[in-house]
Amino acid sequence: MYTIINKTKGITYNCTGNWPSSTVNDMLANGDDIIVISTYSRTIKIPVGFSTEFEGEWEWKEYKYSPDMFK
């Protein structure tokens, strides 16, 4: 599952299945400040910039986490 925290709008979205690229790309195109938490890979992802080098994809900074961190 992916949890997308849209800090700009104060809304949290939960998505299951594949990476929610259209949702994430729409938010980033609107200039929203987001954080994506993946329970699949146990990572917290923060967009750091847009790369035109690899087909115009967003670049992400990833941080590993353990579920025990939030207890």
Q: What are the tokens at 4? A: 């997308």
* Mean pLDDT (whole number) for 35-50: 94
pLDDT at 54 over 70: no
Q: What is the dihedral of CA 38, 41, 42, 43, to 10 degrees?
A: -70
Q: Would you say 64 and 35 are in contact if contact means Cβ atoms under 8 Å apart?
A: no
Order of all β-strands in the sheet with 11-15: 11-15, 2-6, 34-38, 43-51, 57-64
Give percent above pLDDT 70 in the chain. 92
Model confidence, pTM: 0.85
The set of residues, in sequence order, having a beta carbon less than 8 Å from that of 66 and lying 6+ positions away, is 42
Question: Range of 48's domain?
Answer: 2-70
The domain tally of the chain equals: 1
* Mean pLDDT (whole number) for 17-33: 94
pLDDT at 16 over 90: yes
Q: Name residue 10's amino acid.
A: G
